[in-house]
Amino acid sequence: MPKNTNTPGHSRLTKLNRLTKQHKIALAGVATLGAAALAFSAVPSDAGTTTTDAASSAKVAYSTEPIKGVRASVTDQLAGASLKTEAIQAKAEAKVKAAKAKADAAAKAKADAAAKKKAAAEAAAKKKAEAARKAKKAASRSSQRVKLQPVAATTYANNLNGWINHALAIMKQKGIPGSYNGLYKNIMRESSGNPSAVNGWDVNAVNGTPSIGLLQVIQPTFNAYHVSGTSTNIYDPVANITAAANYAAARYGSIDNVNSAY
């Protein structure tokens, strides 16, 4: 008589017996892990760690799920490092710009100072030149005034004293030597101070050339030693004196050296 294969108890047992060896190992592992978990949770925090053979022989399962938040943290760190680098670079650039601005300002100040100094020197030179020009112009005007200013004519008395002084002034201009006393003594001896005196008896008169005037000069001598700027009239007192003094200077060195007829 065949066995009843539909018996409930027998069917479960048959299925259980059919579990593979791998299934049994997996179940055992799960049980072992459960026991290990209970053992760890039961150990106080200050107690030593106890490891059972079951726990040591159990397999550890690793999760294949991606770790969230790691990538974001690295990105944040890189961004922070980049910002820090940019800040350092910006600070360095700002320092370089500040140094350049300071150098430019110093160079500009130096150039401005040099320009001001040059302008001041040019202004001083221009002022000096202008002052020199004005001084030269003023001196020129003064010189012109002196040249253009009419010399006041000296007036001499129409007498023996005036004639002698006037003759001496002309003699000084012409470089003819003689003194007042030298002229006076010879005039008084020759004509007694009379400009119209004529000697009609001496040898000169005999020869047709009488001595005439204050210093008794003959016409040929008067003509030869006439002083320019004076009258050509032999009777003119000043012309007569200067011509006679000029002749005496040529022959005797000076009228002062004449003490007799000459």
Nearest CA-CA partner of 49 in 62, 31, 36? 36
Q: How far apart are CA 244 and CA 261, in angstroms?
A: 12
Q: State residue 9 phi and psi, 5-degree precision.
A: -65, -40
The SS3 assignment for 235 reads coil
Q: What is the pLDDT of residue 90?
A: 86
Q: What is the pLDDT of residue 203?
A: 92
Q: How far apart are CA 108 and CA 105, in angstroms?
A: 5
Q: What is the pLDDT of residue 261?
A: 84
DSSP letters of 190-244? Answer: HTTT-TT-EE-SSHHHHTT--EETTTTB-HHHHHHTPPTTS-S-TT-HHHHHHHH
Q: What is the pLDDT of residue 192?
A: 97
Task: Parse the chain into domains and list their residue ranges.
Answer: 8-57, 106-149, 160-257
- Measure CA 109 to chain center: 14
Q: What is the pLDDT of residue 235?
A: 98
Q: What is the pLDDT of residue 43?
A: 45
151 DSSP 8-state letter: P
Which residue positions in the chain have pLDDT lower than 50? 1-20, 22-23, 26, 30, 33, 35-58, 60, 62, 69-70, 146
Q: What is the pLDDT of residue 165?
A: 97
The phi-psi region of residue 181 (left if phi > 0; otherwise alpha if psi is between -120 and 50; otherwise beta) is alpha
Q: What is the pLDDT of residue 30?
A: 47
